[in-house]
Amino acid sequence: MVDIKPYTIAVDDHHLEDLKTRLSLAKFPDELDQAGWDMGAPLADVKRLAKYWQDSYDWRNAEKELNKVPQFVTDIQCDGFEPLAIHFVHVRSKVQGAVPLLFIHGWPGHFEEVFRILTPLTEGGDGIKLPAFDVVAPSLPNFGFSEGPKKRGFAMEQYAETMNKLMLKLGYNEYVTQGGDWGCHISRALAHLYPKYCKATHLNYDSANPPEFLKNPILSIQHALTPYNPREQHGVVRSKWFDQEGRGYSQLQTTKPQTLGYGLADSPVACLAWIYEKLHDWTDSYPWMDDEVCTWVSIYWFSTAGPAASVRIYYEMIHNVDGRKDKIDQKKMRAWTPGVKLGFSHFPFDLQVRPSTWVRTLGNVVFEKEHNSGGHFAAWERPDDIVNDVREMFGKGGGAFGVVKGVTGYIS
């Protein structure tokens, strides 16, 4: 299509100079003795990363690596909102009949998370022994190199509408999704709003409520009578930790994102510390390299809408600013969705690690896999696990095999 244009990441030199200037003028707080990670990102770590970001990190080299993956931009307009230029990765498999897969990132993630699963899914599947996929990985509105709205009320309905319209514009009248964090929530919104197009979702995030007897009598009895297995026992501890020690960011971003935004937009050190804390706390001892962290945070710092825009999604999901009926909120996203098949990959160091009986209240769960390691950013931390699970769910013999009309991922 003429209005789908190739996109090359190219940050202006003056933005790079501005970043280095701001980093050189950074004023750091003090720190209590032996604070470690208990009170947030340690001072020594943030100082080291800030200095590396200023003096040694090569954004131009990072740009070169990012631009090796085919990227595009196109305008998508949600009803009642201005058109937005949406940035996305799009790689088609050479296999005719590849399954269209929409990868949806979360916060504080971005489109780069798809990079480690992109080649295995699009090229690793030969269409004979392993299924092949076409992969689309957008920058959500307000994230990465997509534009953001200027009008309030851009909530779950609009994120789902943007994703669905993008897939339809690319010629995919039916598709499947993969995601965690907001990728999970937006996939759930797609299942509620667009089941005609979104046929199945594979999720690596356990956002669900315990079964209720009146709604889920069999699951409720099973949950009451069946002891938790080791994964579920660990999940109780991990989820409790997150609820007690890790939710502060969410409360702030859900209630006062503008106030937080002044720090994120003005101070690269604030942006770095705010995101780096999550990269550390939300992963399973993943060995982050300084270059990885700097690229990850730079995508936020250089983002089209600015780093402050990315946190507004929290506010908009909770607040019904325009009084819409049947708003897609957390309660709605955790309601049963008939007709859309679900799959779950459970990782022990995610933020919410729930029992199987909980996630089975969401819909027709046709795939589940427990993993012994891994955290919140599964596609980045444990790409082989995500690839294998997606292949198993959508491949021959899988619970979602043939779910997209006319394509199976295999050569017919």
Q: Which residues pair with 86 in a beta bridge?
A: 74
207 token code pair: 């956002």
pLDDT by residue (tens digit) across 247-266?
999 999 999 999 999 999 99
Residue with tokens 């009309």: 405
Question: φ and ψ at 73, to 5 degrees?
Answer: -145, 140
Residue 20 pLDDT level (bands cut at 50, 70, 90): very high
Asked whether the beta carbons of 121 and 133 are under 8 A apart, the reply is: yes
Share of the chain above pLDDT 70, in %: 100
CA atoms within a 13 Å half-sphere pointing along the CA-CB vector of 366: 22
Query: What one-letter code names the amino acid at 214?
Result: L
CA distance 260 to 251: 11
Q: Where are the beta strands (DSSP E) in 70-159?
A: 71-76, 84-91, 99-104, 133-138
Q: What is the pLDDT of residue 397?
A: 97
**pLDDT at site 110:** 98
What would the two tokens of residue 252 be?
């702030």
Q: Taking all residues of the chain, what is their mean pLDDT, rounded to a whole number? A: 97
pLDDT value at residue 371: 97
> What phi and psi values does residue 198 have, to the nearest 5 degrees?
-85, 105
226-242: pLDDT as tens digits:
999 999 999 999 999 99
Cβ(137)–Cβ(118) below 8 Å: yes
* pLDDT for res 226: 94
Residue 51 bridge partners (DSSP): none
pLDDT at res. 412: 80
For 95-122, the pLDDT digits (tens) are: 999 999 999 999 999 999 999 999 999 9
Asked if residue 193 lies in contact with residue 160, where contact means CB atoms within 8 angstroms, the answer is yes
Is pLDDT at 388 greater than 70 in this prediction? yes
Give pLDDT tens digits for 167-220.
999 999 999 999 999 999 999 999 999 999 999 999 999 999 999 999 999 999
Nearest of 21, 46, 28, 142 to residue 85 by alpha carbon? 142
101 vs 83: CA distance, rounded Å: 24
CA separation, residue 86 to residues 74, 138, 164, 169 (Å): 5, 7, 12, 12
User: Within a 10 A sphere around the Cβ of 131, how many other Cβ atoms?
Assistant: 28
CA–CA gap between residue 70 and residue 67 (Å, rounded): 7
Chain centroid to Cα 272, Å, comes to 19
Q: Give Cα 313 to chain centroid, integer Å.
A: 12
Copy the structure tokens of residue 200: 């199945």
Q: Are strands 363-370 and 71-76 parallel, antiparallel or unpaired?
A: unpaired
What is the mean predicted confidence (pLDDT) over 63-80? 98
Using a pLDDT cut of 90, give the percent of the chain over it: 98
Mean pLDDT, to the nearest integer, of 56-82? 98
Query: Computed over its alpha carbons, how large is the radius of gyration of the chain?
Result: 21
Q: Say if pTM beats, i.e. exceeds, 0.95.
A: yes
Residue 1 scores a pLDDT above 90: no
Rounded distance between C-alpha atoms, residue 348 and residue 353, angstroms: 7
d(CA 86, CA 75): 6
pLDDT in tens, 316-367: 999 999 999 999 998 999 999 999 999 999 999 999 999 999 999 999 999 9
